[in-house]
Amino acid sequence: MTTLNPFKIAQEQLDAAAQRLGLDSATHELLRWPQKELIVTIPIQMDDGKVRVFHGYRVQYNYARGPAKGGLRWHPEETIDTVRALAAWMTWKTAVVDIPLGGGKGGVTCNPKEMSETEKQRLARGYIRAVASMLSVTKDVPAPDVYTTPQIMAWMMDEYETLVGEHHPGVITGKPIPLGGSEGRGDATARGGIYVTREAAKVLGIDLREKTMAIQGFGNAGQHAALLGHELLGLKLVAVSDSRGGIYNPKGMDVKQAVDYKLRTGRLEGFPGAESISNEELLQLDVTVLFPSALENTITSSNAGKIRCKISCELANGPTTPEADDILYQNGVFVLPDFLANAGGVTVSYFEQVQNTYNFYWPLDEVHRRLDEKMTRAFHGVYQLYLKEKVTMRQAAYLVSVARVAEACKLRGWV
């Protein structure tokens, strides 16, 4: 199988939007590349006394609209191109929900599943020491992402504050609540996706009560999507998968039991009352809502024609390739594109920054209300353009966000 370069895909998606918007060549070229990137080596002493050298990255894609913002991924296959692509998507994501931030992303090539808590803490602190010059509440604010937790964020914040010698809780978001984290951050990515799924169902005339959902990827976003999809929309979970494979029961599964089982055992296989199913088979189930919630490039030109869901709500970043997008559009699958569908996470991270800045914290219902408002407005802005321009929802979302970033670059006199 050919390896798809996520950054080339991100550039292709931008190129199409730039052409449709009639962007001048200088603005187009500026938006095709990160404004700043840093690649670092991080020597860490492991528990056995040996030193291992890790490779880390931080990319600030565009900061015309505000400080860069974006998660930190710890993954064995992390590369600079993955981080570039994710930083680009973060730029469009903050613009599409209209929050005053730019886009950034970071990562470390490592396997946290094979590391102890003390090794993770050393790596978290080592990473911050290596990239601290790029970070501050007015420059770049990291957040959690794949395999990084509130605890890891807490260590990073503490290391940054140790380096600068004063409190700066807003420099890292996704922190534990006692250290200035926001209520509602834990399920924000999924909750934002559920809000836009609700709005999509309204415009499509679909009543979601007792309809089916399948979830590919059962980490933080996938688990919360299962719980909230059931609780807020009345959806029935019929299939779910993780990196090892999945489980399926056409009659539906108890969502809380499935989440508890995964948290308790670390896997899905063996869940009582369900048969096993592959990730590939799960994607092709005839369900009302599919939540691709794993990694990039899972829906490609080779399997897009077999996808039968009515709505695909992309909680993962970059799960669908451009060729697959066209096939889904032709086949009438309504795609809620990643940088709209999963923007709930960065939106509540932004709320966390705001609360940190004026040192006053909102109750949970206030966070939910403001998130709902932001996501609903963003969905309808994109949907109106989708109808008007007769393009895919992803292209419509690009038109909204690229126009906003281009305008900020022009107002600054950069182009």
Same domain? For 257 and 314 the reply is yes
Contact in structure between 405 and 96 (CB atoms under 8 Å)? no
CB-CB contact of 164 with 135 (8 Å): no
Nearest to 386 by CA among 347, 340, 320, 317: 340
pLDDT of 3 reads: 63
Q: What pLDDT does residue 7 have?
A: 94
Enumerate residues 6+ apart whose C-beta is below 8 A from 191. Answer: 184, 224, 228, 344, 368, 371
Contacts of 86 (CB under 8 A, 6+ apart): 6, 70, 71, 73, 105, 107, 145, 317, 318
Same domain, 194 and 155: no
Q: CATH code at 263?
A: 3.40.50.720
On whether the CB atoms of residues 188 and 344 are closer than 8 A, the answer is: yes
Task: Give me the residue label for tokens 């009560």.
Answer: 209
pLDDT at 269: 87
Positions marked active-site = 105
The predicted model gives 8-31 an average pLDDT of: 94
CA angle 61, 322, 6 (to 5 degrees): 40
Please report the DSSP string for 95-140 in residue order: HHTT-S--EEEEEEE--GGGS-HHHHHHHHHHHHHHHGGG-BTTTE
- Asked if 367 and 182 touch (Cβ cutoff 8 Å), the reply is yes
Domain at 96, CATH number: 3.40.50.10860
Q: For residue 179, give the DSSP letter.
A: G
pTM for this entry:
0.92
Q: Over the stretch 228-265, which tens digit does the pLDDT of each residue have? A: 999 999 999 999 998 888 999 999 999 999 999 999 99
Domain housing 47:
35-171
**179: exposed, middle or buried (Cβ count in 10 Å: 0-12, 13-18, 19+):** middle
Among the candidates 308, 341, 374, a domain finishes at: 341
In a domain, 303, yes or no: yes
126-175: per-residue pLDDT in tens?
999 999 999 999 999 999 988 999 999 999 999 999 999 999 999 999 99
Assess whether pLDDT exceeds 80 at residue 295.
no
